Amino acid sequence: MLSGASRHTLRVSQTHLIVRISAAFGLSLAAMLWHGPWSLICLTLGVAALGTAVGAHRQPWKRFVLVFIWQVALILTLYLLRYGPQSLPEGLRVAYRLILLVLPGVLLMRSTHHGDMARLLVRVLPARMGFVLSTCVFFFPTLWGVTVQTYESQVLRGARILPRELINPVNMGTLVRVICLPAIVTSLALAKDIALAAHCRWYGLHPDRTVWPGPNPSNTTGEPRA
Amino acid sequence: MFGFTLQESLFLGFCSLLILSTKLLLRLNLKVPGHSMFFLILFLLLAALCVRKPWSATMAAIMAGLLGMFTGSGKLGPLGIVSYMLPALVIDFCMPFLARHRKSLAAFACVGFLAAGARAPVSLFSEWMIGMDLQVLFLSTAIKTGSGMVFGALGALPVPALLTKLEARGLLSTTNPDNSGAAS
């Protein structure tokens, strides 16, 4: 479920990824801080260049376009109600600038393989946080599979938790009782099992990274190495 | 890791992934603004009350922000981490209050309401920086945050009942550092 971006992305080197992140961050920052007369044109060209570089044409954009339409409609409606029709160009300008603020991040995140981003993050993050995050991502399909099975079983039992029934807030209580509680119980049990397995392999014996049983074949005791 | 055992860290990681996946799932099916606050507040409160250590909710929120960044599910990028962290900080500050009122639905609803409202500065800051008119800015933030606060309060309501059920099954004692997995 969380790896949807990978179907439409190509793997890139860490250097490319750092350049992309810097470009997206710079464009977002410029959309916030640069209000000069040529700013919108330059930013549009910059975002278009970033989109071309990351292969934006391969992405399924329908969902994000819907989000942007909602934002633009809200801002235009508020400008119209507060200042009348003569303020619509100003409203459009602000809405467009908001899109330019968000779009570089969306382009970057949707077009980057999560494995590439994870490797970059693990380099920056402390070793143990990297281990916890990657372990959680690795084992999450197990937890999600149990949750989906529980959901299907509860729907067959007649629980009112289908998407169209969840629009009624009363049914959200049922969803929490029959889906969230088992999900929390499963995640507690899974976390305990994984921690026990890691503990048995001397995880945490040294403050930095350890491997088990160790890269040296003569190390028959399996003593962890930093 | 930051005073949490490995088991606690993994549980917080799973909570953060549940936050992200429920958010993605609801974004596909519901078109109600602010609805994602329901599960965000629910899982942040559960993370804080199951682990029972300072900054548990903030840790889960940071993990959710980081995982959101590298799974491509967030649309705000690095600002997404801040938008998860602010509600979590409110929850962590309110933990002594919630610990004294474990059975009070009103107390949980209040904390959920306040925590969901803590996201407003992110929206205010980003829209103010792009030059939006102040009156429109406040109206826009009020609409976005208002519905989120209602969903946040609703998301906090089931937490006391869930905690009671988890305690009755003896599951919360497993997060005690004395009998959990490896120290991390």
pLDDT of residue A172: 81
Interchain pair A198, B182: CB under 8 A: yes
Q: Is A150 exposed, middle or buried (0-12, 13-18, 19+ CB in 10 A)?
A: middle
Interchain pair A204, B182: CB under 8 A: yes
Q: Return the residue of B nearest to A24 by Cα.
A: B77
Q: Of A74, A117, A135, which is closest to B140 when you measure between CB atoms?
A: A74
Domain that holds residue B137: 6-173
Q: Return the residue of B nearest to A31 by Cα.
A: B130
More confident residue, A5 or B37: B37
Residue A1 lies inside a defined structural domain of this protein: no
pLDDT of residue A2: 47
Interchain pair A82, B175: CB under 8 A: no
pLDDT-derived band at B90, boundaries 50, 70, 90: very high
- Read off the pLDDT of each residue in A24-51 and give the average, rounded to a whole number: 86
Q: Which of A117, A143, A163 is the last residue of a domain?
A: A117
Interface contact B21, partner A, CB < 8 A: yes
Interchain pair A188, B175: CB under 8 A: yes
Cα–Cα distance for residue pair A135/A61, rounded to 1 Å: 30
- Read off the pLDDT of each residue in A169-195 and give the average, rounded to a whole number: 87
Question: Which CATH number is B139's domain given?
Answer: 1.10.1760.20
How many CA atoms within 13 Å lie on the side-chain side of A212? Answer: 10
Q: Provide the chain B residues 83-142 that lie in CB contact (below 8 A) with chain A.
A: 126-127, 129-133, 135-136, 139-140
Residue A79 lies inside a defined structural domain of this protein: yes
Residue A162 lies inside a defined structural domain of this protein: yes
Interchain pair B133, A79: CB under 8 A: yes
The candidate with the shortest Cα–Cα distance to B88, out of B113, B60, B110, is B60
Question: Are residue A146 and residue A218 in the same domain, yes or no?
Answer: yes
Interchain pair A166, B183: CB under 8 A: no
Cα–Cα distance for residue pair A211/A219, rounded to 1 Å: 12
Considering only CB atoms, which chain B residues are within 8 Å of A139? 14
Q: Provide the chain B residues 75-94 that lie in CB contact (below 8 A) with chain A.
A: 75-79
The candidate with the shortest Cα–Cα distance to A174, out of B48, B36, B161, is B161
pLDDT of residue B41: 93
Residue A202 lies inside a defined structural domain of this protein: yes
Residue B44 lies inside a defined structural domain of this protein: yes
Cα–Cα distance for residue pair B85/A159, rounded to 1 Å: 33
More confident residue, B24 or A25: A25
Considering only CB atoms, which chain A residues are within 8 Å of B175? 188
Residue B184 lies inside a defined structural domain of this protein: no
Task: Tell whether the model's pLDDT for residue A161 goes beyond 50.
Answer: yes
More confident residue, A29 or B53: B53
Torsion angles phi and psi, residue A225, rounded to 5: -120, 145
Residue B163 lies inside a defined structural domain of this protein: yes
Cα–Cα distance for residue pair B101/B104, rounded to 1 Å: 5
Interchain pair A136, B8: CB under 8 A: no
Task: Tell whether the model's pLDDT for residue A19 goes beyond 70.
Answer: yes
The 3 state secondary structure assigned to B14-83 is HHHHHHHHHHHHHHHHCCCCCCHHHHHHHHHHHHHHHHCCCCHHHHHHHHHHHHHHHHCCCCCCHHHHHH
- The total number of structural domains that make up chain B: 1
Considering only CB atoms, which chain A residues are within 8 Å of B124? none
Interchain pair A194, B181: CB under 8 A: yes
Q: Which of A59, A88, A117 is the last residue of a domain?
A: A117
Interchain pair A1, B25: CB under 8 A: yes
pLDDT of residue A221: 52
Comparing A8-12, B13-17, B105-109, the range with the smallest average pLDDT is A8-12
Question: Are residue A106 and residue A61 in the same domain, yes or no?
Answer: yes
Question: Are residue A76 and residue A162 in the same domain, yes or no?
Answer: no
Interface contact B50, partner A, CB < 8 A: yes
Task: Tell whether the model's pLDDT for residue A223 goes beyond 60.
Answer: no
More confident residue, B162 or B123: B162
B31-84 confidence digits (pLDDT tens): 566 778 888 999 999 999 999 888 999 999 998 888 877 665 555 566 778 889
pLDDT of residue B171: 75
Cα–Cα distance for residue pair A79/A84, rounded to 1 Å: 7
- Read off the pLDDT of each residue in A136-148 and give the average, rounded to a whole number: 85
CA of B168 to nearest chain A CA: how many angstroms apart? 12
pLDDT of residue B48: 92
Task: Tell whether the model's pLDDT for residue A205 goes beyond 80.
Answer: no
Neighbours of A22 (CB within 10 A): 10
Strand (E) or helix (H) holding A101: helix A88-111
Task: Tell whether the model's pLDDT for residue B107 goes beyond 80.
Answer: yes
pLDDT of residue B94: 93
Question: Are residue A16 and residue A112 in the same domain, yes or no?
Answer: yes
- The total number of structural domains that make up chain A: 2
Question: Are residue A51 and residue A80 in the same domain, yes or no?
Answer: yes
Task: Tell whether the model's pLDDT for residue A184 goes beyond 60.
Answer: yes
Residue B182 lies inside a defined structural domain of this protein: no
A50-93 confidence digits (pLDDT tens): 888 887 777 666 666 766 787 788 888 888 887 888 888 888 88
pTM: 0.77
* Contact residues for A190 (Cβ-Cβ < 8 A; gap 6+): A139, A142, A143, B10, B14
Q: Which of A86, A117, A148 is the last residue of a domain?
A: A117
Interchain pair A110, B1: CB under 8 A: no
- Read off the pLDDT of each residue in A201-212 and give the average, rounded to a whole number: 71
Interchain pair B14, A191: CB under 8 A: yes
Q: Which two tokens stand for residue A24?
A: 């997206």
Residue B178 lies inside a defined structural domain of this protein: no
CA of B136 to nearest chain A CA: how many angstroms apart? 6
pLDDT of residue B113: 94
pLDDT-derived band at A117, boundaries 50, 70, 90: confident
Question: Are residue A170 and residue A217 in the same domain, yes or no?
Answer: yes
Task: Tell whether the model's pLDDT for residue B86 goes beyond 60.
Answer: yes
Residue B99 lies inside a defined structural domain of this protein: yes
CA distances to A21, A106, A122, B15, B38 from A133, in Å: 20, 22, 9, 12, 24
Q: Provide the chain B residues 155-174 that lie in CB contact (below 8 A) with chain A.
A: 157-158, 161-162, 165-166, 169, 171, 174
pLDDT of residue A215: 55
Cα–Cα distance for residue pair A153/B4, rounded to 1 Å: 35
Question: Are residue A139 and residue A79 in the same domain, yes or no?
Answer: no
How many CA atoms within 13 Å lie on the side-chain side of B162? Answer: 26
Considering only CB atoms, which chain B residues are within 8 Å of A192? 7, 174, 180-181
Question: Are residue A98 and residue A135 in the same domain, yes or no?
Answer: no
pLDDT of residue B75: 57
Considering only CB atoms, which chain B residues are within 8 Å of A133? 13, 63, 66-67
Summary mean pLDDT of chain B? 82
The candidate with the shortest Cα–Cα distance to A31, out of B73, B126, B124, B141, is B126
Task: Tell whether the model's pLDDT for residue B177 goes beyond 60.
Answer: no
ipTM of the complex: 0.79
Residue A5 lies inside a defined structural domain of this protein: no
Residue B37 lies inside a defined structural domain of this protein: yes
B135-162 confidence digits (pLDDT tens): 888 888 888 888 889 989 999 999 998 8
Domain that holds residue A52: 12-117
Residue B58 lies inside a defined structural domain of this protein: yes
